[in-house]
Structure 1
């Protein structure tokens, strides 16, 4: 039974990574979940409990995806591209720094998918318009989509899955992860700038042109209000999913009235098929966890929060993310940590599954999606370059963030 469970998970991941003939990720996950139930790898009750536990997180994901897409329809990312072009003054190094800042903010507020799908094309078009080489700026988007997702619970689905296990409110999570996030950002900036030093040294052939477009004030105001709502909701006992739904509904009403989007676009933005994939994946991972992997990992995970123990958890999480992708790695590790794990261990795990995927292109679905965005624009993303950038940033980022987390835990008790 263990072999069957592992084989089903492997098949789901292969389909999700390769997407044969452009089929969605759910193509492999839904049949695999059905096999899990038919063969009795998990009972219907266990599968239902898994789906019910994941449902609020998946609903939140759908709402944030709608929020990001409608913000794009309102021109938020086009406006951001104009700001990048003007503020850079046509200098590649300054543009690189601004892209790092923009990717960090986008990931933290609108999730890593927005950085990959919406910001990356804008950054590539901006670099091309300025005559700068696209590679440094493209890789900055890819790396920051993963590693800049430590700060806020809304930045990554992994954070949302783990938030309940931490017992932390929205602002409490942010306070604990602020220093680890800063440590990672420093490592990413230095490592990526060194990796692409020759590209950034080339003088551009273009200059910023065009009048400054006015900012989409309504959309920016809705995004800001939604972010404030996330912080306030946790103290009021309101689930963040309802704040995200309110923000998405407000922006949807605006875009539908102005004609910036149609109802079918709003529905498509929620990525219902991907949401089904996440739920089905949860059922498959539950089968793997119950048939050996959970016990194996539970035996490897430490119980304390000393720096070596935190680093062991972060390192194991990073390794598992690169082996089986960070989403199933998060589900398996949360189950292995048990119902009431120390907060520090859960946060160390998040460091591993959020920063670790930058080591290989298969570490996260966001990275795979980023590669498709580049391919659609004829921009190469060589495996050798990805690996070099990952080797320079991932180990140092994991160690630096874990050390920062240990310091925060020590100071706060």
Structure 2
């Protein structure tokens, strides 16, 4: 049965990576979950427990994706484009620093999918409009979509899955992870500035492709770096801020994050629909219901491994104490597992192996590993797979050699530094 379980997980992940003809991941994940049930790899009780445990997380995923869609429709990312173009003009290093700041905040607040899908095209267009090398800025959104996703429980699906196991409130989780998050972003930026020093040396490197429109800024006869910043979309930003406060306060009174995100989306839906900025069909598409179903099916398939010899083997070898060595070992194992299995199934598997009574430090170290580790390979996270497609569509085709060298230069150092900082904080 173990061989069958591993084969099913492998088939699901390979299909998710390749996505032939653009078919959704559920095309294979759904049948794989059904096969696991039919062959007894997973019992109906185990499958139901997995689905009910993941349901609130998946509901939040749909809600935050819709919220991000409304934020985009109401002009937040167009405003960000104008800020980047106005403030970063003439200095590639300054633009890269601004991209890091925006990507880190976007990932933390709206989750890594918003950084990949909504911010990456904006960054590519801004760099091209300013006639700067695109690579440093495009790769920045890729790395920050993973490495900046440790700050809030809502920043990454992996955080949401593990949040209850930490035993922390929303505010406490954020307070504990704040310093490791800052250390991670600072290390990534320092390495990027050195790694891409040649790309950043010359501010004018390539003409703007004729099919790449610049960010929408007024007074086109004025140099882009001197154009005024668009007015900030006050309503959208205010609702977003209120939603964040709601996440923090909701945990104190027992309101799940999914309801807070849904409330924020509902408020923004009124002006977005009234002004014709979106349609019901686009909203449903933004919720990505097929992907939500894929997450549930994947949980069922991975349960077949977690409940078998592989899960027992991992459980016997994972640390049981949140010492510095134990946390570093847990983060390292989690990073390796993320790059072998993808970070979502790795999180499900390792949480089950750690057990319900795992120390908070080990669970948080696990999150550092599964969130930062995917910067080593394309298959480490689903967001990274999506970034490859988005960057390619934007005219910045990722290079495996560059991606791998950059990952080796940043990821081990960032994981060690972030985990050590976490241990000091705890």
Q: TM-score, normalised by structure 2?
A: 0.95
2:104 aligns to what?
Answer: 104
1:142 aligns to what?
Answer: 142
2:18 aligns to what?
Answer: 18
1:180 aligns to what?
Answer: 180
Q: Unaligned 5+ residue runs, structure 2?
A: 206-222
1:279 correspondence with 2:296 = yes
- Cα deviations by residue, 1:343-384 (Å, 9 ceiling, x for unpaired): 000000000000000011110010110000111122121101
Candidates 374, 379, 397, aligned match of 2:391: 374
The Cα of 1:167 is off from its aligned counterpart by 1.2
Shifted more, 212-221 versus 11-20: the winner is 212-221
The Cα of 1:207 is off from its aligned counterpart by 4.3
Listed as ranges, the matches of 1:1-400 within 5 Å are 1-204=1-204, 207-208=224-225, 210-400=227-417
Contact 2:343 2:371 in 1 (8 A): yes
Contact 2:67 2:265 in 1 (8 A): yes
Contact 2:339 2:373 in 1 (8 A): yes
1: CA distance, partners of 2:358 / 2:168: 12
2: CA distance, partners of 1:220 / 1:176: 26
Contact 1:93 1:200 in 2 (8 A): yes
Contact 1:361 1:368 in 2 (8 A): yes
Q: TM-score, normalised by structure 1?
A: 0.97
2: CA distance, partners of 1:408 / 1:197: 33
Shifted more, 215-224 versus 347-356: the winner is 215-224
2: CA distance, partners of 1:203 / 1:16: 38
For residue 213 of structure 1, give the secondary structure of its aligned residue in structure 2.
Answer: coil
2: CA distance, partners of 1:355 / 1:226: 26
The Cα of 1:90 is off from its aligned counterpart by 2.4
The Cα of 1:210 is off from its aligned counterpart by 4.0
1: CA distance, partners of 2:295 / 2:224: 44
Contact 1:176 1:408 in 2 (8 A): yes
1: CA distance, partners of 2:366 / 2:26: 26
Shifted more, 293-302 versus 272-281: the winner is 293-302
Contact 1:252 1:266 in 2 (8 A): no
2:214 aligns to what?
Answer: none
1: CA distance, partners of 2:310 / 2:262: 36
The Cα of 1:40 is off from its aligned counterpart by 1.1
2: CA distance, partners of 1:269 / 1:182: 30
Listed as ranges, the matches of 1:402-413 within 5 Å are 402-409=419-426
2: CA distance, partners of 1:212 / 1:312: 47
RMSD: 1.0
Q: Unaligned 5+ residue runs, structure 1?
A: none
2: CA distance, partners of 1:234 / 1:90: 44
Contact 1:195 1:388 in 2 (8 A): no
The Cα of 1:209 is off from its aligned counterpart by 5.3
- Cα deviations by residue, 1:270-329 (Å, 9 ceiling, x for unpaired): 110000000000000001111222111101101111111100000000000000100000
1: CA distance, partners of 2:377 / 2:80: 29
For residue 264 of structure 2, give the secondary structure of its aligned residue in structure 1.
Answer: helix
Contact 2:116 2:142 in 1 (8 A): yes
Structure 1 segments of 4+ aligned residues over 3 angstroms from their partners: none
1: CA distance, partners of 2:381 / 2:82: 29
Distance of aligned partners of 1:306 and 1:372 in 2 relative to their CA distance in 1, 3 Å threshold: same
Contact 1:24 1:273 in 2 (8 A): yes
